[in-house]
Structure 1
Amino acid sequence: MSSVETPVAAPARSASEPPAPVAPGRPHAPDVRRQELAAFLRSRRERITPEQVGLPETGRRRTPGLRREEVAQLASVGVTWYTWLEQGRDIQVSGQVLASVARALLLDPNERAHLYTLAGAAVAAPGQECPSVTASVRRVLDQLSPLPACVLNSRYDLLAWNDSYRKLVGDVEALPFEERNIVWLLFTSEEFRSRFLEPDAAALTVAARLRAGLAEHVGDPAWKSLLSRLRQASPEFEAIWQRHDVAERGSGSKGFAHPVVGPMRMEFTNMWLGQRLGTRLVTYTPADEETEERLARLAAL
């Protein structure tokens, strides 16, 4: 007579945790993203000691770091659910629960963003907490005035800028975070487009550079969200996007049309701040004496 194993009751879930997924009938090989997620979670868990998170030491441990049940306890999620997440199971997870796991594992901003990407969850909109925009970078931006300068990532999100850049292109600080993106503004804001001498050419170039950058971020939720919004909001962008044109990011020249001081020709230079995120400080310098004089007038406004 065969014996029947009594199932163990699953641990209670927190209110924020999604319903526990049903175990698959037969194992399937996880995809590369889930394998990376599993390895990343294990590596972060194994580097933390109980003392670091206020847990009592319980004697000798067979493996370094925290146990899975301890991470689940700290994150207020079920042990079974967290175990399946760390095993790379194909389960759904919300940003709220990922935030709890990130806090439990003491992840820094770069690690937190990596966790969200691997889990296929939407990354928070870029803002003042971007790890590449340090206090030193902000000081450099201020010291560069009257030269306009800004910080962009590979997705062309505007992460920071100085007062000269704001005067040059308009009050970007008044925009919602999700609209502080060069590509979005060039294809959806007539006011922003009016600040360029050749707005159509600028739009073509930035779309081609975005297409080239996408190769390194295929499947990234933040990129997918931006592209979906652009393709729905702008038929012009959709038509350009279907051409599959690509262009490398680099230094060059650009023409601006300020409503008060007039047209200006500027040389722009990229200075890279973060290789993984493609974050760069972009500075604009006058291409001729006339622009230099008008830039001085711009600074005095």
Structure 2
Amino acid sequence: MSPSLAPANVLGTYLKDRRARLDPAALGVPAARRRTPGLRREEVAQRANISPAWYTWLEQGRGGAPSADVLERIARALMLTDIEREHLFLLGLGRPPEVKYRTGPVTPRLQRVLDALSPTPAVIRTAIWDVAAWNRAACVLLADYDSLPPENRNILRHMFLEPRARAAQHDWETVARFVLGAFRVDTARSGAAAEIAPLVEELARKSPDFARMWQEHDLHGAPGEAVKHIKHPLLGPLAFEYSAFAVDGRPDLTLVIYNPLEAKDLARLAALLDKPQDKP
């Protein structure tokens, strides 16, 4: 590739390009005669609340690597999209930005993916472990999300406050400890401490087990793959391959699929789906 197509200062080149694409008038910047399109360097620096000299050095490839905080402020100043922001971090720090919790509906496309997986149960959970979307098989296996109010569609709430969830586990204490430790890691990574505070307070008040485990500060990384055993009230003991996948374009969402280990169990689950009146 020629030097013109692969500049040595890729971060500076990217910043210049994004800066040139902004409309000063639309951003309320006073009209002035400009030799080049877009914002001036000092205007970006002002919007990002950083030194104009420091921003100039970044564009010129001087001054060393920027901090994540500086890149975050520049991303906001340049009004970058999520994918543009990620690209900025990859150029500036060699890694994507940390996942930040946000709210927002699951797209119809993702819901169609879940529905296509049935009769294999599947859900999409948020960074604070709310179940944001599900298929019918998940309602039969895990919880009747269709009938639950949104505030009750939380995996921790279900695990610690729902008697059915406790009865479904072969070793509830071990499973609950693992779920809580993984939840703590996920919410810390996503910067959702403020969002989970009311839930933590409520669960500590209503569940002595939660209060005890929360104070122990155990941490667990959520496994990408594992085997989950469930005692279903209608189908009896079941074993599933639990697989978790990041959702492209939404790092705050996780697709979780429960694939039955035994083909006969998948057939039994499919048969139960044909009898909605038999919901457990």
| TM-score, length of structure 1 as denominator length | 0.56
SS in 1 for 2:271: helix
SS in 1 for 2:227: strand
Asked whether the equivalents of residues 128 and 192 of structure 2 are also in contact (C-alpha less than 8 Å), the reply is no
Deviations 1:91-146 (A, max 9, x none): xxxxxxxxxxxxxx9897999xxxxxxxxxxx88x563xxxx33322111111011
Answering whether residue 218 of structure 2 is matched by residue 245 of structure 1, we say yes
Q: Distance in 1 between the 2:175 and 2:250 partners?
A: 25
Q: Which residue of 2 aligns with 1:10?
A: none
Q: Distance in 2 between the 1:238 and 1:110 partners?
A: 39
Moved more, 159-168 or 44-53: 44-53
Asked whether the equivalents of residues 150 and 283 of structure 1 are also in contact (C-alpha less than 8 Å), the reply is yes
Asked whether the equivalents of residues 198 and 255 of structure 1 are also in contact (C-alpha less than 8 Å), the reply is no
Letter in 1 for 2:166: R
Answering whether residue 268 of structure 2 is matched by residue 294 of structure 1, we say yes
Letter in 1 for 2:216: R
Asked whether the equivalents of residues 257 and 264 of structure 1 are also in contact (C-alpha less than 8 Å), the reply is yes
SS in 2 for 1:245: coil
Instruction: Give the one of 220, 224, 231 matched to 1:257.
Output: 231
Matched ranges for 1:103-182 at <5 A: 126=103, 128=105, 133-182=106-155
SS in 2 for 1:147: coil
Asked whether the equivalents of residues 217 and 223 of structure 1 are also in contact (C-alpha less than 8 Å), the reply is no
Answering whether residue 258 of structure 2 is matched by residue 284 of structure 1, we say yes
Q: Distance in 2 between the 1:296 and 1:269 partners?
A: 20
Q: Distance in 2 between the 1:261 and 1:219 partners?
A: 37
Matched ranges for 1:227-246 at <5 A: 227-246=200-219
Residue 174 of structure 1: CA displacement? 2.3
SS in 2 for 1:159: strand
Q: Which residue of 1 aligns with 2:172?
A: 199
Q: Distance in 2 between the 1:139 and 1:276 partners?
A: 16
Instruction: Give the one of 189, 193, 196 matched to 1:223.
Output: 196
Letter in 2 for 1:282: V
Asked whether the equivalents of residues 196 and 256 of structure 1 are also in contact (C-alpha less than 8 Å), the reply is yes
Letter in 2 for 1:245: D
Asked whether the equivalents of residues 242 and 258 of structure 2 are also in contact (C-alpha less than 8 Å), the reply is yes
Q: Which residue of 2 aligns with 1:11?
A: none
Q: Distance in 1 between the 2:209 and 2:161 partners?
A: 10
Asked whether the equivalents of residues 152 and 281 of structure 1 are also in contact (C-alpha less than 8 Å), the reply is yes
Letter in 2 for 1:270: A
Residue 87 of structure 1: CA displacement? 6.1
* Percent pairwise identity: 31
Relative to structure 1, is the Cα distance of residues 231 and 61 closer, same or farther in structure 2, using a 3 angstrom cutoff?
A: farther
Relative to structure 1, is the Cα distance of residues 156 and 51 closer, same or farther in structure 2, using a 3 angstrom cutoff?
A: same
| TM-score, length of structure 2 as denominator length | 0.60
Gaps of 5+ in 1: 1-43, 66-82, 89-104, 112-122
Relative to structure 1, is the Cα distance of residues 287 and 275 closer, same or farther in structure 2, using a 3 angstrom cutoff?
A: same
Relative to structure 1, is the Cα distance of residues 149 and 64 closer, same or farther in structure 2, using a 3 angstrom cutoff?
A: same
Q: Distance in 1 between the 2:264 and 2:139 partners?
A: 20
Q: Which runs of 4+ in 1 moved over 4 A?
A: 44-48, 50-53, 55-59, 61-65, 85-88, 105-111
Q: Which has the higher helix share?
A: 2
Deviations 1:24-72 (A, max 9, x none): xxxxxxxxxxxxxxxxxxxx9997536658x89945479956xxxxxxx
Asked whether the equivalents of residues 119 and 266 of structure 2 are also in contact (C-alpha less than 8 Å), the reply is no
Relative to structure 1, is the Cα distance of residues 208 and 268 closer, same or farther in structure 2, using a 3 angstrom cutoff?
A: same
